[in-house]
Structure 1
Amino acid sequence: MPRAILCILDSVGIGGAPDADKYGDTGSNTFGHIAEWAASGKADKPDLRSGPLNVPNMDALGIGAAIQLSTGTLPPNLSATPKGGRFGVGREVSNGKDTPSGHWEIAGVPVPFDWGYFPQTEPTFPPDLIEEFIARAKLPGILGDKHASGTTIIAELGEESIRTGKPICYTSIDSVFQIAAHEAHFGLDRLYEICQIAFELTAPLMIGRVIARPFIGEDSASFKRTGNRRDFAIAPPEPTLLDRNQQAGNQVYAIGKISDIYAGHGVTHKMKGTGLPQLFDKTLDAMEMADDNAFIMTNFVDFDSEYGHRRDVPGYAAALEYFDSRLPELISKLRPDDLLVLSADHGNDPTWQGTDHTREQVPILVFSPSLSQGEIGIRTTFADIGESIARWLGLAPGRHGKSFL
């Protein structure tokens, strides 16, 4: 009986979407620009990686061909001729370039509304929102109250947060309210508690997520975010692929931040992990445990959080090469009728201006030992990914996409 494994390479876009100009992202191309920088030597970092981008396994599945289909240009050291599986391009219909929008649409449910966003002013948050948050959470106050990079603002305000007991509140161009606090001095459970309060207060504003950002260390030089991040998210407006497979009596393995993104809906097995190696290991573990008709979905967040937002081209290149190096392990564990899909939820071009997501098309790489090779073209909605997996698993068609299988 078939199973499906969907790996979301968070932020690995392959060229600006047709409406990228609305977002200031015309010309962005996460994967392509990383390949160009690597070939030029600009992404060399001797202690990390060097030379042209080396991703032979993704290339064999069609990443080069998908980028060429998306942009009309083949990046250096990639091939236009895949050696197996099917390849194509995903185009998002939901507004924005947020994590929930991309993931929900991938799972068959495009976002039917506009997210709320905080203005790029300082202070950023509405005063009445912060006043009520402080009162309900019984806090001495907050720090931050601005747009910021998470690692930067923790380095800036972490020591004061430990000293005063005030959490650090910040946002980005995405629809988020983020709260950072020290795991030990402030307390992890306490951080989750105040994030739940913040979520209740921001939900009417259609803020997609409140994100708990715990960190450890005793000074700005040693602060480090931990894997105990938790996203408090608005639930999808209708059943996603996860719900549909669960309701059919099948297993749904949510690895990494997947369960948080879908507000826990449709999940039968929740598996957390920190870092690409652990997330890959968890995916392999799930494949060992999964029954017939199981759906396994993993978000590989490091591409986005560690390298895209930080505009770290060498780090991003090394991460892509690491993921590629482990693909043979995953493929070797596929049963004859298993389906593997690699895709992304948006872009985050580390060569682009700013530190935020980029509105891009995404790769769709599809492989099964029982699937013929071919091209699936440019899909007009990410929902085609979910509907194709639904068909593979024998589920009834949904309302928003069409299967390419």
Structure 2
Amino acid sequence: MTRAILIVLDSVGCGAAEDADAYGDAGADTLGHLAQACAEGRGDRDGLRGGPLKLPNLVRLGLAHACEASTGRPLAGVTKPADPTGQFGYGVEISQGKDTPSGHWEIAGCPVPFKWGYFTALENSFPPDLVAAIIRDGALPGILGNRHASGTAIIDELGEEHIGTGKPICYTSVDSVLQIAAHEEHFGLERLYDLCRKVRALVDPLRIGRVIARPFVGTAKTGFSRTGDRKDFAIPPPNETILDRLAAQGRAIITVGKIGDIFAHRATGEEIKPFGNAAMFEAALDAIDRLPDGGFCFVNLVDFDTEYGHRRDVPGYAAALEAFDALLPRLEAKLRPGDLTVITADHGNDPTWPGTDHTREHVPILAFGPRIAGGPLGGRESFADIAATLSLHLGIGRLGPGRPW
């Protein structure tokens, strides 16, 4: 038997999708614009990084080739090798939306067959009957926010009032999401989770993808900061995923990061959820050491999205990618003959783009392993091609609508 490792670099898109205009994202390009900004000095930050984007290991595997195949443009400041050692291409999402669940589910072989629900009003975003139900079921004195907002900005604005009144901060975005922020000490972490479970049931009829608990700590004087105790309460995938197929066949599954939350903890095996990309990468290395033949390790590295993409932090995003790139040889050293590793993304989050939301983009696909010959994969017509390939590699039969490469 062989093993498979799937790593999602959350939000690391590689060029606007064909339907990006429908999402207001025509021209978005997370990796392309990030490289351009770094080449022009806009990615410099004293003590953090400087100069062109430096991703020698990802580029060796074919990242620059994948980006150029997607957009027709080279990555600024990046020199392509003549012969990448990995297989490289890009994926096109067929699910509607540009959020985490649809991207991950399609990667896992389950494109979303329905339209998500959204809270489109920028102010008073939630219907009055939903607000009343949240207050009633949560035994709350009321809620704060009730609008589209940046998560960090709204906590800075309303954190002190939240502490004084006991009202949680509820907000949304262009994604299919309802987020609830509350102070870990004054409101209580378990109370926040319980509230989110109740709200999850309330928004199920609206087809809202996720209810997200956003705990934070601090004071108005010292400043508020979100903690690593975030938890997503998602609806489950509507059809079979590679996780379901593997679980049904008794295969070992280890999921790292927020994979468990994204798949509603269905067939997600041993769940490991440390805080921060570095800790998650270390957990993934440990998982690979323990993963038996026929096993599957599924990893999400979320900092690119939450810490840098949404905050439109170009130097931070570039530094995070460079840090991941520097760690890649350690992962490659742990691969056994026959192992297949795929690195991809679930959507874009162009840090140079207006606003603070995800961007509808292609995603890079890099596939490699000790016995995997490099070469082009082209443009894949669905993210589901990844699951189709991995399922055949693991010997569990072809899965989903995707086409294996």
Following the alignment from structure 1 to structure 2, what is the Cα–Cα distance between the partners of residues 106 and 127?
36
The separation in 1 between residues aligned to 2:271 and 2:284, in whole angstroms, is: 11
Matches within 5 A, 1:226-305: 226-305=227-306
Whether 2:134 is the aligned partner of 1:133: answer yes
For residues 156-171 of structure 1, the aligned pairs below 5 Å read 156-171=157-172
Secondary structure of 1:254's aligned partner: strand
**One-letter amino acid matched to 1:306:** E
1:295-341 Cα distance to aligned partner (Å, 9 max, x none)? 11111111001110100000000000000000011111111111111
Instruction: State the 1:33 CA deviation.
Output: 0.7
Q: Structure 2: 5+ residue runs without aligned partners?
A: none
The offset of 1:219, in angstroms, is: 2.1
1:59 corresponds to 2:59: yes
Equivalent residue letter for 1:104: W
Do the aligned partners of 2:387 and 2:400 also contact (CA within 8 Å) in 1? no
Matches within 5 A, 1:87-166: 87-166=88-167
Cα distance between partner residues in 1 of 2:243 and 2:221: 40
Q: Does 1:28 align with 2:21?
A: no
Q: Is the CA contact (8 Å cut-off) linking 1:158 and 1:220 kept in structure 2?
A: no
Tell me how far 1:239 sits from its aligned partner: 1.4
State the TM-score, normalizing by the size of structure 1. Answer: 0.98
Equivalent in the alignment of 1:12: 12
Q: CA offset at residue 132 of structure 1?
A: 1.0
| Distance 1:127-1:82 versus aligned 2 partners, 3 A rule | farther
8 A contact 1:155–1:220 mirrored in 2: no
Deviation at 1:123, TM superposition (A): 1.0
Alpha-carbon distance, 1:220 to partner: 5.9
> Structure 1 segments of 4 or more deviating over 6 A?
none
Corresponding residue for 1:46?
46
Give yes or no for contact 1:233–1:260 (8 Å, CA) kept in 2: yes
Aligned twin of 2:315: 314
SS of the residue corresponding to residue 285 of structure 1 reads helix
Query: Matched residue of 1:270: which SS?
Result: strand
Task: Tell me what 1:86 maps to.
Answer: 87
Cα 1:215–1:82 change in 2 (3 A) is: farther
Distance in 2 between the 1:284 and 1:223 partners?
Answer: 32
Query: Deviations 1:74-113 (Å, cap 9, x if unpaired)?
Result: 1121416343110011000001101101000000000000
Specify the SS of the correspondent of 1:213: strand
Q: Does 1:219 align with 2:220?
A: yes
Q: Percent identity?
A: 56
* Aligned counterparts of 1:220 and 1:266: Cα–Cα separation in 2: 44
Aligned-pair RMSD on alpha carbons? 1.0
Equivalent residue letter for 2:109: G
CA distance in 2, matches of 1:78, 1:62: 11
Cross-structure match for 2:196 = 195
Secondary structure of the residue aligned to 1:203 is helix
In 1, Cα distance between the equivalents of 2:81 and 2:94? 27
Would the alpha carbon gap of residues 282 and 105 (structure 1) be closer, same or farther in structure 2, given more than 3 Å must change?
same
SS at match of 2:219: coil
Structure 2 distance, partners of 1:66, 1:80, is 12
Give the secondary structure class of the aligned counterpart of 1:223: strand
Tell me, yes or no, if the aligned pair for 1:28 and 1:360 is still in contact at 8 Å.
yes
Query: 1:66–1:89: 8 Å Cα contact kept in structure 2?
Result: yes
Report the count of equivalent residues: 404
Three-state SS of the structure 2 residue aligned to 1:340 is: strand
3-state DSSP of counterpart to 2:378: strand
Match of 2:380 in 1: 379
> Which residue of structure 1 lines up, in the alignment, with residue 370 of structure 2?
369
Q: Secondary structure at the match of 2:163?
A: helix
Bigger mean CA deviation after superposition, 220-229 or 182-191: 220-229
Q: What is the CA–CA distance in structure 2 between the aligned matches of 1:293 and 1:150, rounded to whole Å? A: 40
Shift of 1:221: 4.2
**TM-score normalized by the length of structure 2:** 0.98
SS at match of 1:160: helix
Matched AA of 1:317:
A
Deviations 1:358-386 (A, max 9, x none): 11000000001111111111000000001
Whether the aligned pair in 2 keeps the contact of 1:65 and 1:82 (CA below 8 Å) is no
The code of the aligned residue for 2:261 comes to D
AA aligned to 2:7 is C
Looking at structure 2, the residues matched to 18 and 272 of structure 1 have their Cα atoms a distance apart, in angstroms, of: 34
Is the Cα–Cα contact under 8 Å of residues 84 and 375 in structure 2 kept in the other structure?
Answer: no
Amino acid at match of 1:32: G
3-state DSSP of counterpart to 1:356: coil
In the alignment, the residues of structure 1 paired with residue 222 and residue 390 of structure 2 have an alpha-carbon distance, to the nearest angstrom, of 45
SS in 2 for 1:375: strand
Per-residue CA shift, 1:258-313, capped at 9, x if unaligned? Answer: 01000011111000011111011111111111111111111111100111010000
